[in-house]
Amino acid sequence: MAIRTRKPTGAVPWPLILLEGGEKAGKSWACAELSASEKVGQTYWLDLNEGAADEYGAIPGARYLVVEHDGTWGDIVGQVAEIRKEAARAADAGEPPVVLVIDSMTAEWDLLKDWAANRAKGSKSNRQRIQRDPNAEVQVSMNLWNDATARHRKLMTMLMTFPGIVIMTARGKEVASLDAAGRPVEGSKDYKVEGHKNLAFDASVWVRLSREHPPIVVGARSVHAGIKPGVDKPQPMPDFTLERLIFDALKCDPSAARARDMTEMKPGDESPDLDNLSDAAKRLLSEAEDAANVEGLRLVWTAISPLLKSGDITQAEAQVVNQRIQQLSQEMTAEPKGEAA
């Protein structure tokens, strides 16, 4: 396999900003204020269980549209996908960047946690537990948490590759510190952002708002305004506005900005043995996958023996290819299932 490379562009990507803080700290206000900027295009406001979108439309200059949804995951993600298409169109046309506000990601993760809990209630063990005690705790198994995380990851991938500006709000607060056994540590507190545990990791910029102190840039993935973990302290920004942060501090240039280049990971379900296949065996598998019918698979099968005799593939590789051809043949010849009533 040849090495495939390219030179880095050095362009500032579109920012994915996490704006978190305590109650009434000004998170939603800052989002509405950004929509008034002449440097941004249409702002779309996705209100998830916060209810601030309508009232903050009265802020002087605010010009955002409230995204309507029915509260279901499918409708929420579908709306984000449509806004993403519009953002791509605007970027391709050279228009000011589209802004997407999600208020809040705390509610997004709460929705997914409730989804996992609702599914857990239907398990055999939980039904038996509730039958014995209606007040019993519903235990959510790891596979259900994995499903919730997969849904969250799908949304985050859309936001991380959004061809415009995304602002995510979240609730943050101090909580009691816990020891290794999960017991509170007296007199000690930690700060917690309420949302999925990787929310701050995925954001390109992390800003904390408070009623007691000036806004703080906790972290930023930026050549121009980067903060070195363990070296630089979080930076106060007394004159904070999202417009100043995006266009002055981060130096985001709409004419040159690009969405993050993220190749979708494809885990597959192949056997570990396939990792070390020879080029000839990989070619046979590829030809089998591309075969349009059983006759095409038969042609691939007849090529196995000559390659085996020449030593281009091993007996084990021949067996792997043969098994895959049999699987594909069964799928091609299987009778189609009738549609569910």
Q: How confident is the model at residue 177 (pLDDT cuts 50, 70, 90)?
A: confident
Mean pLDDT score of the chain: 88
> Taking residues 32-36, what's their average pLDDT?
96
- Tell me the three state secondary structure of residue 68: coil
Q: Is the pLDDT of residue 40 over 60?
A: yes
Q: Is the pLDDT of residue 266 over 90?
A: no
Q: How confident is the model at residue 35 (pLDDT cuts 50, 70, 90)?
A: very high
Residues 6+ apart with CB under 8 A from 56: 28, 29, 31, 32, 62
Q: Is the pLDDT of residue 336 over 70?
A: no
Q: How confident is the model at residue 228 (pLDDT cuts 50, 70, 90)?
A: low
> Taking residues 230-251, what's their average pLDDT?
85
* pTM of the full structure: 0.75
Q: How confident is the model at residue 165 (pLDDT cuts 50, 70, 90)?
A: very high
Q: Is the pLDDT of residue 335 over 60?
A: no
Q: Is the pLDDT of residue 337 over 60?
A: no
Q: How confident is the model at residue 341 (pLDDT cuts 50, 70, 90)?
A: very low
Q: What percent of the chain has pLDDT over 90?
A: 50
Q: Is the pLDDT of residue 33 over 90?
A: yes
Q: Which of 275, 214, 276 is nearest to 245 (CA)?
A: 214
Residues 6+ apart with CB under 8 A from 248: none
CA max distance for the chain = 79
Q: Is the pLDDT of residue 63 over 90?
A: yes
b/e code 23-41 from CB counts within 10 Å (16+ = b): eebebbebbbbbbbbeebb
pLDDT given at position 15: 94
pLDDT given at position 84: 97
The predicted-structure confidence for 116-157, as pLDDT tens digits, reads as follows 999 998 888 888 888 888 888 888 888 899 999 999 999 999
pLDDT given at position 188: 79
> Taking residues 276-292, what's their average pLDDT?
88
pLDDT given at position 231: 64
Bridge partners, residue 193, by sequence: 172
Measured between alpha carbons, how far apart are the two ends of the chain, in Å? Answer: 49
- Tell me the three state secondary structure of residue 69: coil
How are the residues of the chain apportioned to helix, strand and coil, as percentages rounded to the nearest 5? 40, 15, 40
pLDDT given at position 227: 63
Helices (H), the chain: 27-35, 73-92, 105-120, 124-132, 142-160, 199-202, 242-243, 279-290, 294-302, 304-310, 315-333
pLDDT given at position 226: 60
* Eight-class DSSP state of 258: B
